Amino acid sequence: MDAIDRDIINILQAGFPISDRPYAEVAARLGIEESVLLQRLQALLDDKKLSRFGPMYHAEKLGGAFSLVAMQVPAENYEQIAELVNSYPEVAHNYQRDHAFNMWFVLATQTPQRVEEVNDEISRRTGLPVFNMPKLKEYYVGLRLEAHR
């Protein structure tokens, strides 16, 4: 990454303007053209230097829900079950862990009831128990990962 890429990452983590031309506003702050910003942002995503770029929604305030889910998946079936779990659009993240509970994923659903529905479907389709761990309390960390020069 060059200095402009690092500046793009740092500026966009601080907030995204709400306006008719938000990318043009950010580009002006960076001293580059809007088209250059869009090309560089796409390149950061394509090169996997950024895993995603988009808004963070508070599901509960929109009537939805988040939940952390764990499963004990036999090693010989792990890839197949991971593919099935990941096929659900509600699965936001899925991580393999070196632990008895070796699959952990986050559900982000449009309704609180959908968490239970998805977990029940996954359990039925895999034949494995699904351990739902809903959020009891939320803490704001304010994570910001500064890209240094």
CA distance 70 to 104: 4
**Is the model's pLDDT at 138 over the cut of 90?**
no
Strand partners, 93: 106
Residue 112: which pLDDT band, with cuts at 50, 70 and 90? very high
Radius of gyration from C-alpha coordinates of the chain: 19
Instruction: Tell me the pLDDT tens digit for each residue of 37-86.
Output: 999 999 999 998 888 888 777 778 888 898 999 999 999 999 999 999 99
pTM: 0.66
CA distance 18 to 149: 28
Let me know if residue 118 belongs to a domain. Answer: yes
Longest CA–CA span in the chain (Å) reads 56
Let me know if residue 130 belongs to a domain. Answer: yes
The rounded mean pLDDT for the chain is 92
The residue with tokens 């895999």 is 126
Q: What is the CATH number of the domain that holds 114?
A: 3.30.70.3460
Let me know if residue 113 belongs to a domain. Answer: yes
Instruction: Tell me the pLDDT tens digit for each residue of 22-41.
Output: 999 999 999 999 999 999 99
Q: Which residues contact 4 (CB under 8 A, 6 or more apart)?
A: 30, 32, 40
Q: Write out the residue range of the structural domain in which residue 35 sits.
A: 3-46
Which pLDDT score, from 0 to 100, does residue 134 have? 87
Whether residues 78 and 125 fall in one domain: yes
Which pLDDT score, from 0 to 100, does residue 33 have? 97
Which pLDDT score, from 0 to 100, does residue 81 have? 97
Instruction: Tell me the pLDDT tens digit for each residue of 38-51.
Output: 999 999 999 988 88
Whether residues 81 and 108 fall in one domain: yes
Which stretches within the chain are classed as H helix? 3-13, 22-30, 34-46, 78-86, 112-126
